[in-house]
Amino acid sequence: MKVILEVIIFTILVLGYAPFAIYVHRKLLGWMQGRVGPNRAGPYGLLQTIADTLKVLQKEEIIPANADTALFRIAPIIAFAPAFIVFAVIPFAPSLTFADLGVGLLFYVAVASISTIGVIAGGYASNNKWSLIGAMRAAAQMISYEIPLVLAALGVVLLAGSLNLNTIVEAQSRSVWFVIPQILGFVIFLIAAIAELNRTPFDLTEAESELVAGYQTEYSGVRFAFFMLAEYVYLLAMGGLIATLYFGGWLPPHPALAFIPGIVWFLLKALIFAFLPFWLQATFPRARVDQLMTFAWKWLIPLAMVNLVLTAMAKAWI
Amino acid sequence: MIRTEEMLLNVGPQHPSTHGVFRVIVKIDGETIVEATPVIGYLHRGTEKLAEDLTYTQIIPYTDRMDYLSAMIGNYALVHAVETLMGLEIPERAEYLRVIAMELNRIASHLVWFGTYLLDIGALTPFLYAFREREKILRLFAELSGARLTYSYMRIGGVKWDVPDDGWLGRVRRFIDDFKGALEEFHTLVTGNEIVQARLKGVGKYDQETAIAYGLTGVNLRSTGVAYDVRKAKPYSIYDRFDFEVPVRTEGDLWARYLLRMAELEQSRRIVEQAVAQFPSGGEIMAKLPKLIRPPAGEVYTSVESPRGELGVYILSEGKPQPYRIHFRRPSFVNLQLLPKLLVGENIANMIAILGSIDIVLGEVDA
């Protein structure tokens, strides 16, 4: 009973976060671009996302004539469900983890890569050339960037000696936050995470000016909303993971600040990294698909390996 | 060896980056373009044929709608041809107003290019910064001519409206001074960006011979090392009175074209600055003309430098109020002919960047 209640509360919280994130996204982009952002619906435009959601829910469900109907219907769910599942292993506060798995980090990475299948399925099922190209790019990109992502995270695992995210956070309470010894790993992880999330400058899968909307081209209404929701929820999940691995999760920056509850610290750190991509979006143009692959295979992966070896050597000799 | 199939991909006429109703059918192998066939004509209105039934003054609004991003220069190209045919003397004040209007329009046009081009390569913000500056120019134009886009400001023999007497020139002056800072801002934000340079350098290259063989003009030609600018090569209006340079580069790639257009913004800014400083304090804005304009029988070809290249007007007159035949040499149309050749072997991302760097306006391509 308690578990069910927890799950319901958690789902509502994450679902409530998405409209908030979309609002912050649009407002931040607006300010960075010399605009005011949404300001019509409700005070300060706070109800804008609610209004948009209601609009999207009312849309007719269009399935292209020659689409693979079953796959087309299920793809958004495949893309969207893992975004929620990964939250299970994220430690929000000292005793607040929904599933305190021994292999938490592995679980996160494994489940998160299922979303790629949803994206590919969606692109393939649409029977649209733009969608297909977008899906192909997604496949190539997500697979390429998962490698440096995991290699970079392995540095942290070596330092903490565990894949359990709670243990990783506790290990940081004994020493410094892992961002300091793992600065190279952190930079690689951040870049790979942004590519993994398809955010600018790596937003090739839905590159509007090139591929119209990539794998989302034929999606509308609720199914489109599912893809969008997955994107924003992943931002928070990835923010949470970065906070956990490199910035001490729920730990306060200084023991004197321990009177503030851990969940506040965690959310603060997670949100900073969840909203960082919005800033990058306002700043950077898009990389080209071949440059993206070159960057992953020739730069990030070797660097991540160097980082891993250095960490192992430091661990062995210091 | 795996046998892979080529795929036909229809880009446009409804596509975010074709800058209007342009369509190109590309045959792609993976993401590499094997063949590209442009399809134009979705915006064709038969301007040249329509013009045969119109008096010369009535043609002016049609020139607004060809290159709608630089309507002032379109207007001028037409009236300049008629004036040359008639051998008219234009009042000095009108000439200055024309130059100020044309060069401000060139800035506005290049700003649209700057914004949309970066949008094409995936940067969202420069677009809004560019439009913020362009908006100031459009406001000045609205005060001068009453319109924001289709000005119909020029008339055969002069201009329609004199300077608004509430300090309009002062506002132009202030804009021109402020624009210096905006240009620096653009360079800081965009030009130095690694990704921008990685996207543009060495892509979409062609050499001088190709450029000349295809009749390219404007920045597309100057990026290959030919210093051809109609304002210098065949001076018209009062351009000989101003001190400005024709920026030239030799790389012939997207990066060269990007830098050239940015440099031209600065040159146009300089011309307006000088024109405002030299602006005559009094005088007419229209030459003395009969009510019905009948140029003498004969033919004439004149050209001006539009933001996209050499915009030429050919008129065959039989001495009637309407032209017997009028032809516009539209630089967008001519420059576009190189596209299929440039696209072969490139990928889709480069296709968008190359199309953007040619800088077409579909109203002009299709006329």
Q: What is the pLDDT of residues A253-301, one digit of tens each?
A: 777 777 778 788 888 888 899 889 888 888 888 888 888 888 888 988 9
Q: Is the pLDDT of residue B7 over 90?
A: no
pLDDT of residue B306: 92
Q: Is B360 left (phi over 0), alpha (psi -120 to 50) or beta?
A: beta
Q: Mutate one of A33, A288, A290 to test the B interface: name it (highest B CB count within 10 A).
A: A288
Check CB contact of A35 with chain B, cutoff 8 Å.
yes
Of A41, A58, A75, which residue is a domain's last?
A: A58
> What average pLDDT is seen over chain B?
90
- Least-confidence region, from A212-226, A270-284, B123-137, B147-161: A212-226
Say whether both A116 and A233 belong to one domain: yes
Same domain, A168 and A270: yes
User: Is residue A81 predicted with pLDDT exceeding 70?
Assistant: yes
Q: How far is C-alpha A79 from the geometric centre of its chain's CA atoms?
A: 12
Residues A40 and A146 in one domain: no
Task: Indicate whether A22 and A68 sit together in one domain.
Answer: no
For residue A203, the chain B residue with the least C-alpha distance is B122
Would you state the structure tokens that stand for residue B238, as one six-digit string?
Answer: 């009062």
Q: The domain containing residue A9 runs over which residues?
A: 1-58
Q: Which positions in chain A touch B199 (Cβ < 8 Å)? A: 285-288, 291
CB contact (8 A) between residue A210 and residue B128: no
Are B52 and B33 spatial neighbours (Cβ–Cβ below 8 Å)? no
| CB proximity under 8 Å: A 130-169 to B | 130, 133
List Cβ neighbours of A148 (8 Å cut-off, separation of 6 or more). A188, A189, A191, A192, A296, A300, A301, A303, A304
Q: What is the mean pLDDT of residues A234-262?
A: 83
> Are A6 and A111 found together in one domain?
no
Q: HSE of B363 in the Cβ direction (CA atoms, 13 Å)?
A: 15
B166 touches B77 (CB < 8 A) = no
Q: Are A134 and A82 in contact (CB under 8 A)?
A: no
Q: Provide, as residue numbers in chain A, all residues whose Cβ is less than 8 Å from the Cβ of B348.
A: 133, 210-211
Of A34, A203, A208, the CB nearest to B128: A34
Choose from B8, B125, B188 for mutation: most chain A CBs within 10 A.
B125
- Per-residue CA distances from B144 to A200, B13, B35, B153, B323 (Å): 41, 35, 47, 8, 29
A155 contacts A182 by C-beta, under 8 angstroms: yes
Q: Are residues A86 and A115 in the same domain?
A: yes
Q: Which of the listed residues A58, A75, A107 is the one where a domain comes to its end?
A: A58
Residues A126 and A275 in one domain: yes
Helix (H) or strand (E) segment spanning residue B311: strand B309-317
Cβ distance of B122 and A33 shorter than 8 Å: no
Option in B16, B119, B195 nearest A287 (CB): B195
Q: Do A67 and A15 share a structural domain?
A: no
- Asked if residue A203 and residue A134 are part of one domain, the reply reads yes
Residue at which a domain ends, from A17, A40, A58: A58
What total of structural domains would you count in chain A? 2
Q: Are residues A290 and A238 in the same domain?
A: yes
Query: Roughly how many angstroms between the first and final C-alpha of chain B, as a whole number?
Result: 48
Does residue A85 share a domain with residue A53? no
Number of C-beta neighbours around residue A34 at 10 A = 11
- The predicted structure's pLDDT at residue B221: 92
Interface check B207 vs A, CB under 8 A: no
CB B106, CB B267: distance < 8 Å:
no
- Residues of chain B neighbouring A291 (CB-CB closer than 8 A): 198-199
Nearest partner of A6 among A78, A82, A99, A69, judged by Cα: A99
Both A274 and A171 in a single domain?
yes
CA-based nearest residue in chain A for residue B129 = A33
For chain A, the distance separating the N- and C-terminal CA atoms, rounded to the nearest angstrom, is 48
CA A33/CA A53 separation, integer angstroms: 24
Show Cβ contacts of residue B365 under 8 Å, excluding neighbours closer than 6 positions.
Answer: B22, B40, B43, B330, B332, B333, B336
